[in-house]
Structure 1
Amino acid sequence: MKASDLFVKALEQEGVEYIFGIPGEENLDLLESIRRSNIKLILTRHEQAAGFMAATYGRLTGKVGVCLSTLGPGATNLVTSAAYAQLGAMPMLMITGQKPIKASKQGRFQVLDVVDMMRPLTKYTAQIVSGERIASHVREAFRVASAERPGAVHLELPEDIAIEEVSASLITPSAIRRPIAEYKAIDKAISLIELAKSPLLLIGAAANRKMTSKMLTRFVNELKVPFVTTQMGKGVIDESNPLFLGNTTLSDGDFVHRSIENADLIINVGHDVVEKPPFFMRSNDKQVIHINYNAAEVDPVYFPQVEVIGDIANSVWAILEKIKPQPHWDFAYFEKVKKAEEKALPHSCNDDRFPIYPQRLVADVRQAMPDNGIIALDNGVYKIWFARNYKAKKPNTVLLDNALATMGAGLPSAMAAKLVYPDKPVLAICGDGGFMMNSQELETAIRLDQHLIILILRDDAYGMIKWKQANMEFEEFGLDYGNPDFVKYIQAYGGKGHRISSANELLPLIKACMNEHGVHLIDIPIDYSENDQILNHDLRELSSKV
């Protein structure tokens, strides 16, 4: 068969459902092979958005998301997406085209060394130099992308290789079982937990990848050990659980950090070094148990005393089989923090002032969304408020990026979530800056006939940087811009535009959009002016109660 046909059959054997991207002339043989396959091509308007969609598909399904570009400028547009998937531990394969490598007639026109370009951004990158190697390259790419820690991989298929006649057969994917932790490490962890006075469970990003929710929920409910999460650990355990103490959104001083400071043992499950450290270890400060798929990366502020390495859910199960709640465990301080937090966090949730305040926005979105509804956040100051105040009820229902933390991913991520879960409500929540970086994908969403709601939080500035600029006592400069009329903008694509003029209009409007099929955009003026004042209010409330 033709090499491009073998390539696509290899993708089909790996279970590929979608390929996101923009083909070029170097991909035309591959494109024809895709046309005759069971794989659906999702044609996007920018390669970066295709990469974000593929990465999010990988994040949600655990399977490798696939995206496609041509050579040169198409491939360079995947760079941010590669970093997004690699830092966020999302399994993704990038396929790029290339000029003929055996007898080029166009010199160096559009030719870059894409393989070397992708090397520092991926787990695996290769140029396919023979059609007979396609099956092994594809199998290895999928194996590496899926293995812990998951990430981005890349294959380059040159134009003249794609048209070769090949006789190679496919390589069947092998079943891989993750290793389990060694029993002595389990016993040592149990001993430390039972001896601790105030143990605390911390849930990180890796715990949100392989559906460890059931075992960690059992751990909390049976042992009554309080827990906190990182931003990318949100939703592993239902955050309406009374033992939930909060999210490590801020750098220091928040409610959750007071709890961490007063724990003598941190049971750190799924820690990922790409997230900002939720605590700093100091000599003789506290003990830490590292439970993860991979060993800890030790640095001056993280050097766990015990490491339990293996499948996370199995490790937690093994601990639960032998451990018992201890009568000397003391969670009184945590309970005080919890009460202070519950009194402080609702501050401004019912505030009628307009432009809308972040806390009111978060409260209304939470009220509108069912437990299984998905919010996909772009990056901006509002992400702090959603991570902190929005209680996630189920795993992977809050899609935020606390790894690369790139702008422009919110809308494509929401679109991918809607493809994976067409029956679940999905909201893209974007600042005006991040939205405009990939706003062209409105056409893609409308062409796909998606039912999607996009909230544009408009402050006509790069608000997060403006806030930090003010905090660092710099003069206000260089961060304000103009915006289009967002209602007319989406209408020009054939979507449905809405604008609120009071805070009380938002909740009923979101509910109305949920009941009307189509791509909806809601223009929401937002006021971040009291960020510091509100956060300081929360800390004052904490100090007075704890």
Structure 2
Amino acid sequence: MSETKKASDLFVECLEAEGVEYIFGVPGEENLDFLESLSDSSIKLILTRHEQGAGFMAATYGRHTGKTGVFLATLGPGATNMVTAVAYSQLGGMPTLAITGQKPIKKSKQGRFQILDVVAMMEPITKYTHQLHAGDNIPSRVREAFRLAEEEKPGATHLEFPEDIAEEKTDSRPIAASLARRPSAEAKAVRKAVETIENADKPVLVIGAGANRTMTGRMLRQFIEKTGIPFVTTQMGKGVIDERHPLFLGCAALSSGDFCHRAIEDADCVINIGHDVIEKPPFFMSDAFDDPRACSCVVHISTRTAEVDPVYFPQIEVIGDIANAVWQIKEDIVPQGKWDFARMLEYRQAEHEHSKPLAEDTRFPIFPPHLVQQVRDCMPEDGIICLDNGVYKIWFARGYTAYLPNTVLLDNALATMGAGLPSAMMSAMLYPDRKVMAICGDGGFMMNSQEMETAVRLGLNLTVLILRDDAYGMIRWKQANMGFEDFGLTFGNPDFVAYAESYGAQGHRVTSSEHLTDVLDHCRDTPGVHLIDCPVDYSENDQILNHDIKELSAKL
């Protein structure tokens, strides 16, 4: 006869059976049974200072490991504070499970106090959401939540755990995960893709968010080495292939007009690997035959069929496990002597020539291209940078050379501010022997700056580089670019050095371009949590990103 236990104990056992290592969160009184059960488990509770920080940490755990990151909150305001992090993991393809408490559902004496329909709230931004109605149902619902969170495309799931269900007695047991493999692409589709690529004169690879998986990266490297076909990445595809590779053409960080976009326009066949519509399109298709920028043929390789829109309607789709599909194509394809990549590679060389003097500009406040180069020079090959959201993200996506997968963590899906610091904290927890840096604007940093206390309390080793322009710089740049007057986007800041020290971290203030180099090296080599206050100069963003690059690339 099965042992009877509290439902909250069963829930924790189910999480242990799924291999959960951490739960991040801010518990409330509706979570107290669950909290007690957690205290006697192998799972570590990471108490954060805001539910959003917990969610960003869980999502980053999922991004690094492929396993579901779990985070916890109470009902009402705790659940609503989770929403941004849930959407972040859902759009970004990061497997997570959000757990929220709730008042008793069988008998309640508190009316509607703090009660929202959290399941309905989570429905549009998750793959699965469910209120647990009975202890006996916990094993199946937990298994389903993990299965869906990790199934391609990965994303967010949610379970609501009412306090009267948590204290129920049950004799149910966890359900073990089943062995499941993704289906392979159909042979005829693979053959058609091979024929199309072989018949092209100038094929090119575009590597997107869905290709950022370990096995897929390995197969893509083999494909590129065999065929010699050049490649471009989207922002969330950065690092899938070492960007020092001679066939790397650049990252699609701007919407259009950059050197890498011109290289794609030069192609007559785009092999689009792991395309995800959450990212800005790295190229545009057109049904107008006289449009010189239109991609004439697109081969879509993904786990899911293409979502057709006015600028994306691929002619050939190879659907199934991406790594297996790339392997099948690689095994079948014969490199063609007629393929001509010279023009594409000229665009890449022109980008190098354009970028080099910008990276050497040592003005102060720091010029963004020089900042990017300084960070790259400071970080080791396996170092991890975690970008918050701001105009600097474009500079880093374009100019920071990624050597390994998941060493440049940025959000080009929800593109929320406030995720940079929690993402770096999770990276530092998972990889204590690697160097980790959060790169944040002053606006984004202050949205979750309270997690500095969490980082110090956890004894993490990381650097927080704050790029200070005393404004919401991305929007201010666009405001000016669109011809509006400068209004409503500037603010004051605390003394960031004193602010860091108040948490027990070490604060540093950059006073020159040369000083930045010394400070970065010191923080990299000194244990603990470091914060760097670095003034930046965005005054030439529009001239360089919107004018110089597009004008020069158009002339080539």
Structures share fold, TM-score greater than 0.5: yes
Opposite residue 330 of structure 1, the aligned amino acid is: D
Q: Which residue of 2 aligns with 1:93?
A: 97
Residue 515 of structure 1 pairs with residue 519 of structure 2: no
Q: Which residue of 1 aligns with 2:548?
A: 537
1:78 match: secondary structure: helix
- Counterpart-to-counterpart distance in 2, 1:223 and 1:287: 18
Moved more, 370-379 or 275-284: 275-284
Alpha-carbon deviations, 1:31-63, whole Å to 9, x = none? Answer: 011100000000000001101110111011000
Alpha-carbon deviations, 1:412-457, whole Å to 9, x = none? Answer: 0111111121111100000000000000000000000000100000
Q: Which residue of 2 aligns with 1:397?
A: 407
Residue 69 of structure 1 pairs with residue 73 of structure 2: yes
Are the counterparts in 2 of residues 247 and 388 from structure 1 also a CA contact under 8 Å? Answer: yes
Of residues 166, 169, 175 in structure 1, which corresponds to 2:170? 166
Q: Which residue of 2 aligns with 1:483?
A: 493
Of residues 362, 381, 399 in structure 1, which corresponds to 2:391? 381
Residue 150 of structure 1 pairs with residue 154 of structure 2: yes
- Counterpart-to-counterpart distance in 2, 1:510 and 1:59: 26
Opposite residue 312 of structure 2, the aligned amino acid is: Y
Of residues 501, 505, 511 in structure 2, which corresponds to 1:501? 511
Residue 438 of structure 1 pairs with residue 442 of structure 2: no
1:526/1:211 CA distance change after superposition, 3 Å: farther
Q: Which residue of 1 aligns with 2:484?
A: 474
- Counterpart-to-counterpart distance in 2, 1:211 and 1:110: 45
Q: Which residue of 2 aligns with 1:263?
A: 267
Q: How does 1:214-293 map to 2 (within 5 A)?
A: 214-283=218-287, 285=294, 286-293=296-303
C-alpha RMSD over aligned residues = 1.0
Moved more, 482-491 or 216-225: 216-225
Q: Which residue of 2 aligns with 1:301?
A: 311
Residue 335 of structure 1 pairs with residue 345 of structure 2: yes
- Counterpart-to-counterpart distance in 1, 2:179 and 2:426: 27
- Counterpart-to-counterpart distance in 1, 2:311 and 2:171: 54
Opposite residue 16 of structure 2, the aligned amino acid is: E
1:348 match: secondary structure: helix
- Counterpart-to-counterpart distance in 1, 2:135 and 2:218: 44
2:309 match: secondary structure: coil
Opposite residue 275 of structure 1, the aligned amino acid is: E
Query: 1:210 offset after TM fit, Å?
Result: 4.5
Of residues 117, 139, 145 in structure 2, which corresponds to 1:141? 145
Alpha-carbon deviations, 1:322-379, whole Å to 9, x = none? Answer: 1111011111211221221110122321212100000010000000111111000000
Moved over 6 A (4+): none
Query: 1:153 offset after TM fit, Å?
Result: 0.4
- Counterpart-to-counterpart distance in 2, 1:480 and 1:166: 56
Residue 178 of structure 1 pairs with residue 189 of structure 2: no
- Counterpart-to-counterpart distance in 2, 1:321 and 1:251: 34
Q: Which residue of 1 aligns with 2:463?
A: 453
Q: Which runs of 5+ in 2 are unaligned?
A: none
Are the counterparts in 2 of residues 347 and 359 from structure 1 also a CA contact under 8 Å? Answer: no
Are the counterparts in 2 of residues 446 and 495 from structure 1 also a CA contact under 8 Å? Answer: yes
1:347 match: secondary structure: helix
Q: How does 1:22-41 map to 2 (within 5 A)?
A: 22-41=26-45
Opposite residue 53 of structure 2, the aligned amino acid is: A
Are the counterparts in 1 of residues 232 and 248 from structure 2 also a CA contact under 8 Å? Answer: yes
Q: Which residue of 2 aligns with 1:193?
A: 197
Q: Which residue of 2 aligns with 1:14?
A: 18
Q: Which residue of 2 aligns with 1:325?
A: 335
Residue 43 of structure 1 pairs with residue 47 of structure 2: yes
Alpha-carbon deviations, 1:260-289, whole Å to 9, x = none? Answer: 111100000010000011111112541000
Are the counterparts in 1 of residues 234 and 253 from structure 2 also a CA contact under 8 Å? Answer: yes
Q: Which residue of 2 aligns with 1:110?
A: 114
Opposite residue 92 of structure 2, the aligned amino acid is: G
- Counterpart-to-counterpart distance in 1, 2:479 and 2:185: 47
Q: Which residue of 2 aligns with 1:464?
A: 474
Moved more, 206-215 or 372-381: 206-215
Query: 1:532 offset after TM fit, Å?
Result: 1.9
- Give the TM-score of the pair, scaled to structure 2: 0.97
Q: Which runs of 5+ in 1 are unaligned?
A: none
Are the counterparts in 2 of residues 358 and 385 from structure 1 also a CA contact under 8 Å? Answer: yes
Query: 1:540 offset after TM fit, Å?
Result: 4.2
Of residues 365, 373, 376 in structure 2, which corresponds to 1:363? 373
Q: What is the total number of aligned residue pairs between the two structures?
A: 545
- Counterpart-to-counterpart distance in 2, 1:506 and 1:219: 40
- Counterpart-to-counterpart distance in 2, 1:72 and 1:210: 38
Opposite residue 388 of structure 2, the aligned amino acid is: D
- Counterpart-to-counterpart distance in 2, 1:41 and 1:309: 39
Moved more, 320-329 or 37-46: 320-329
Q: Which residue of 2 aligns with 1:208?
A: 212
- Give the TM-score of the pair, scaled to structure 1: 0.99
